[in-house]
Structure 1
Amino acid sequence: MADVAEHVVVARYRLAPGPSGTATNLANVYQLEEQLASAIETAGAGEFEQPQFGRDESGENELVLSAYGPDANRLFAAMEPALRSFPARPASVLLHYGAYDDPNAAEQLVRL
């Protein structure tokens, strides 16, 4: 579990259904996971969490990627090239400047 003083960066991608969609092309997801973990480690920016698959508010399939670190901007800077290169859309990234469960923390939403 992340330290309460850490910031959180959460990326969300809508996944296409069907055999040609990103939802079933796990090789792409694993490649993105490796790129993100490596970029974050190289930058010394924080820690990458295991990707999660689920459904968004509208019931569409989505991929959620989370990372924790002491500086959300630095963490996003390390992650941004890999996040932008992943083809699934729509996609967004939430930079949360505080612990994940802190409702008073400042946030910034970036559309990819």
Structure 2
Amino acid sequence: MQDTLFDMPEEAPEHAVIARFHLGGDDFGEPDQRSLVFDAERSIGAAVAAAGVGEVDGNEFGGGEVVIYAYGPDAEALFRAMEPGLRMLPFRPAHVVLRYGESGDDVVSERVEL
């Protein structure tokens, strides 16, 4: 008799798309900039969900920039779903890091300028 508990396939490592935008104003950007980010994040989250490629996990404001985090099984598919919404944000300089696997020193990543 086989124990099916040990026959389960391993989960694929989680990939990430991490988008970083420079903001103006104080450390957290201007109120209208934050509003644009929140609107874009909702739109990007809906696109990611509709494509079934992962989830947008939130943002982090500080140090004159905002970072938007998203996770899923395929960083390239996740970025394809997110890219139109990310490119619509007017803040520059900006870039995205596609991380192919769990966070760690030896994980492969790719930087894309927006």
- Same fold, judged at TM 0.5 (above): yes
Q: Which residue of 2 aligns with 1:68?
A: 71
Instruction: Normalising by structure 1, report the TM-score.
Output: 0.84
- Give the percent of matched residue pairs that are identical in Structure 1 and Structure 2: 41
Residue type of the alignment partner of 1:64: V
Structure 2 CA distance, aligned partners of 1:67 and 1:76? 9
Instruction: Normalising by structure 2, report the TM-score.
Output: 0.83
Structure 1 spans left out of the alignment, 5+ residues: 56-60
> Radius of gyration: which is bigger?
2
Q: Which residue of 2 aligns with 1:39?
A: 47
Give the RMSD, CA atoms, in angstroms. Answer: 1.8
Structure 2 CA distance, aligned partners of 1:107 and 1:65? 16
Q: Which residue of 1 aligns with 2:18?
A: 10
* Structure 1 residue ranges, 4+ long, deviating more than 4 angstroms after superposition: none
Q: 1:9 to 1:35 in 2, by over 3 A?
A: same
